[in-house]
Amino acid sequence: MAFLEWSDSLSVKSRLLDTDHKRLIELINKLHDASLDAQNRAGAEAAIALLVDFTKTHFIHEETLMRKTAYPQFIPHKIEHDRLIKQIEDFRARYAAGQVGLSQDSIVFLRTWLCDHITKVDTYLGAWLAKHASLITE
Whether 5 maps to a domain, the answer reads no
Instruction: Give the tens place of pLDDT for each residue, 28-54.
Output: 999 999 988 877 888 889 999 999 999
CB atoms within 10 A of CB 102: 23
Whether 41 maps to a domain, the answer reads yes
CB atoms within 10 A of CB 130: 11
Instruction: Answer yes or no: is pLDDT of 138 > 80.
Output: no
* CA distance from start to end of the chain: 31
For CA atoms 41, 84, 27, 32, the dihedral sign is: positive
Whether 36 maps to a domain, the answer reads yes
The CATH number linked to 31 is: 1.20.120.50
- φ, ψ of residue 92 in degrees (nearest 5): -60, -45
Whether 2 maps to a domain, the answer reads no
| 3-class DSSP assignment, residue 41 | helix
Number of domains in the chain: 1
Whether 34 maps to a domain, the answer reads yes
| Residue span of the structural domain in which 78 resides | 13-133
Instruction: Give the tens place of pLDDT for each residue, 76-125.
Output: 999 999 999 999 999 999 999 989 888 889 999 999 999 999 999 999 99
